[in-house]
Chain A
Amino acid sequence: MLMKTTLYRGLFAGLLFASISIVTSCSDDEKTVVPETLYTRLGGIEAISAVTDKFLANVVADNVINERFSATVADEFRLRLLRTNLIDQICAGAGGPCQYKGLTMMEAHDGMDISVAEFNALVGDLVAALDFYQVPTTEKNELLAVLGPLQSQIVGQ
């Protein structure tokens, strides 16, 4: 009888301890706030894909640089690869779950002798695409800051 009571007491104490542990572990005190990535704030892959398409359309219509892209977009497979590479590059740069698999910017633009004016026209087309989708200034500037340093690898190669 005494043994049975001791066993019940032990079991009760164990359950009480387990309950307290669960309740305290659920406390809000230790909740860590994970900051949202630029990728999430931009709206994920669908939004990035829409911005990329608008950007590409702007580039192909842009008289300053469209000749550079003419043959690439004329070929279905080259267009597909260019689009995928652009989406991956923006997505990865924004902290999204993508990996850029294309050539390095230096390799891709080797021998093309791209001028600063052409690079600026391209950036202008990207800004116009971001404005078209009303991307907030903070996110727009963060994205441009990620892509801006690529200028030295593209211009004058």
Chain B
Amino acid sequence: MENKPMKTLKTITLFVLVGFVGLFGYANIRQLSISEKLKAVHLASFTLKGNLNSEEKLALEKKVSALAGVTACSVNREGNIVSVIFYPEQTNETTLASLLSNQGKLTVTQKQLAISGGCPVHKVNANFSAFVAVLDIRN
């Protein structure tokens, strides 16, 4: 005769297994939208110290935007923050910082972004979708 803890363990294992198989099935059967099929990007934000007039700001934006793997670059109105969206397999933060320094004319520091809070995508939803994406063997 099976003891109770063993039976409970078996039941829990069965539940977890069924849940996992269900999620695996969902991850691989769900229809991906065209936006979900787009390549994933990273975002880096930098602070700039130095004088930039509006023409130089625009030139810097264009120079970074033209770098392979960069999908967007924006320098703010004050010229002290730059954000760059890029494909991580094609470029990285170090290359971007070096390009932004404008041959040493500007001091560039990568901005430390907050780790909690924020609008408008909640962490639980993002983590669930990330987990589902990992289970998707079509990727």
Which A residues fall within an 8 A CB radius of B? 45, 49-50, 53-54, 56-58, 60-63, 66-85, 87-88, 91, 97-99, 101-103, 105, 108-109, 112, 114
Contacts and interface: CB of A to CB of B under 8 A. Distances in A.
Given A57-B74, A81-B129, A83-B41, 19 more contacts: A45-B38, A49-B71, A56-B83, A58-B83, A61-B75, A66-B83, A69-B119, A70-B117, A71-B113, A78-B123, A79-B42, A80-B40, A80-B129, A80-B130, A84-B36, A91-B35, A98-B35, A101-B33, A109-B119
A79 B113 contact: no
Nearest to A102: B121
A88 B74 contact: no
Interface residues of B, number: 39
A76 B39 CA distance: 13
**Residue among A49, A74, A76, A112 with the most chain B CB within 10 A?**
A74
Interface string B64-108: 000000011111111001111100000000000000000000000
Interface string B18-61: 00000000000000011110101111010000000000000000
B112 to A, nearest CB: 8
A106 to B, nearest CB: 11
A76 B115 CA distance: 11
Q: Which of A50, A62, A80, A99 has the largest count of B CB atoms less than 10 A from its CB?
A: A80
B114 A63 contact: no
Given A57-B83, A80-B126, A85-B121, A73 B34 contact: no
Q: A-side binding surface: helix, strand, loop or mixed?
A: helix
A72 to B, nearest CB: 4
A70 B114 contact: yes
B121 A82 contact: yes
Given A61-B74, A81-B129, A75 B123 contact: yes
Contacts of A54: 72, 74
Nearest to B117: A71
A112 to B, nearest CB: 6
A85 to B, nearest CB: 7
Contact of B126 (A75, A87, A112): A75
B5 interface: no
Given A49-B35, A98-B34, A99-B33, A82 B130 contact: no
